[in-house]
């Protein structure tokens, strides 16, 4: 018995924040220069009343338009921005999406590795007969955590959601996984306040980085250089392990889709791992870094543009907050 990605849909909120908008507000860089460097021209941002679960709902409804929703056996919801501390947003989504009450649901908290984790869980559910059809929703709204004067993070991150249907098949289309964690890096991408460890602070102290970005401990903090160092250390090893666990070489892979962190970072990784440029997907121009949804969005777009075709072997790799990472090889 095997599992296969059957379909993907994604949803981006209506409101667009362009590089021009950011340049006008901050007057710190040239829009064209930043686009060339990080490969992002604009990102979509939720409205005040919109949440990750709302984005996930919209993506799932697009997908369920062509699927019998009564056949969904499990709903997995990946976010770091749930609607409530409790209950799980997936329970709220089960009702909203009108899925069966015999549908298993749970949330899991992962960021940039979330899609890979979701595929691993979905495959496990299918291979152990817990489900035949798994709906994986990845949804994120980091914009809600970013301090208004934090240009660096406003430039990188966009909001969005993807819905992926994984179904039972006779053959296996989702191959072996490499999953990993290094909690030593947990402070380098964090929202320190607002959960159980540290309370949300009214009138929190405002800190400023060397480059003039501001944040408080109620907000998202990212140590970009440290995250970059983590990726150049962890990702080449993960790719090498993933290839060897699946008895493949780079030559056997038709296409590589990495978490679309930013263009500079993933281009650097591509060169370091010696992946041919024509086999490597890089496109975050209109979305920015949507965290757990970058891989399904990229996969969907690559299929729409025929860069990925039926019969292809694709290596997927996610890495980031935690630190957490994962990779697998799929057949489309």
Partner 1 sequence: VVLGSVIPGVQQLLIYKELENIMTKVEFYNELINQCDLSADEIADGTNIKDIDGYDSLAVMTMIAFIDEKFNVKLSGKQFSELSTLYSLAEKIGLEKFQDA
* Residues marked as catalytic: 112, 259, 289
Q: What is the DSSP letter of 24?
A: H
- Which tokens go with 111? 């960021």
Minimum CB–partner distance for residue 152 and partner 1 (Å): 5
Nearer to partner 1, 174 or 261 (CB): 261
Nearer of residues 8 and 38 to partner 1, judged by Cβ: 38
Residues whose CB falls within 8 Å of the CB of residue 202, separated by 6 or more in sequence, listed in order: none
Strand partners, 3: 168
Residue with smaller CB distance to partner 1, 205 or 210: 210
| Closest distance to partner 1 from the beta carbon of 18 (Å) | 18
Q: For partner 1, which is the closer residue by CB, 37 or 98? A: 37
Q: Is the CB of 38 or the CB of 112 nearer to partner 1? A: 38
The C-alpha atoms of residue 332 and residue 314 are separated, in whole angstroms, by: 8
| Alpha carbon of residue 95 to chain centroid | 24
Q: Give the separation between CA 46 and CA 22, rounded to whole angstroms.
A: 16
Distance CA 282, CA 317 (A): 13
Which residues sit at the interface with partner 1, rule CB under 8 A?
28-29, 33-34, 37-38, 152, 155, 188, 209-213, 223-226, 228-229, 232-233, 236, 240, 243-244, 249-251, 264-265, 268, 271-274
CA–CA distance, 242 with 328 (Å, rounded to integer): 6
Q: What are phi and psi of 317, to 5 degrees?
A: -145, 125
Q: Yes or no: say if 167 and 106 are a contact pair by the CB < 8 Å rule.
A: no
Residue with tokens 């800190």: 207
Indicate the SS3 state at residue 38: helix
Q: Could you give the C-alpha distances from 164 to 59, 108, 307, in angstroms and in order?
A: 9, 15, 19
- Determine contact, residues 111/320, Cβ cutoff 8 Å: yes
């Amino acid at each position: 018995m095997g599992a296969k990605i059957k379909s993907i849909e994604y949803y981006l909120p209506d409101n667009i924040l362009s590089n021009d908008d950011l340049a006008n507000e901050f007057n710190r860089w040239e829009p064209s220069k930043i686009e060339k460097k990080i490969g992002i021209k604009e990102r979509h941002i939720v409205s005040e009343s919109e949440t990750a679960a709302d984005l996930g709902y919209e993506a799932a409804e697009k997908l369920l338009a062509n699927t019998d929703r009564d056949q969904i056996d499990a709903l997995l919801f990946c976010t770091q921005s749930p609607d409530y501390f409790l209950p799980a947003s997936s329970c709220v989504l089960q009702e909203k999406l009108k899925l069966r009450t015999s549908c298993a649901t749970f949330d899991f908290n992962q960021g940039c590795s979330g899609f890979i984790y979701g595929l691993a869980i979905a495959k496990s559910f299918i291979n152990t007969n817990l489900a035949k059809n798994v709906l994986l929703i990845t949804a994120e709204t980091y914009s809600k955590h970013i301090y208004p004067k934090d240009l660096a993070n406003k430039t990188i991150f966009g909001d969005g959601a993807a819905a992926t249907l994984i179904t039972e098949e006779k053959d296996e289309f989702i191959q072996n996984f490499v999953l990993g964690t290094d909690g030593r890096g947990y402070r380098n991408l964090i929202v320190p306040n607002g959960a159980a460890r540290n309370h949300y602070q009214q009138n929190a102290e405002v800190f400023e980085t060397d480059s003039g970005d501001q944040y408080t401990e109620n907000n998202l903090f990212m140590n970009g250089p440290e995250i970059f160092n983590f990726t150049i250390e962890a990702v080449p090893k993960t790719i090498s392990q993933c290839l060897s666990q699946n008895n493949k070489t780079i030559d056997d892979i038709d296409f590589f889709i990495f978490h679309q962190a930013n263009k500079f970072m993933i281009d650097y990784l591509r060169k370091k791992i010696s992946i041919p440029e024509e086999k490597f997907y890089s496109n975050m121009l209109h979305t920015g870094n949507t965290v757990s949804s970058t891989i399904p969005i990229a996969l969907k777009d690559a299929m729409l543009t025929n860069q990925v075709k039926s019969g292809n072997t694709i290596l997927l790799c996610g890495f980031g907050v935690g630190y957490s990472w994962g990779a697998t090889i799929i057949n489309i």
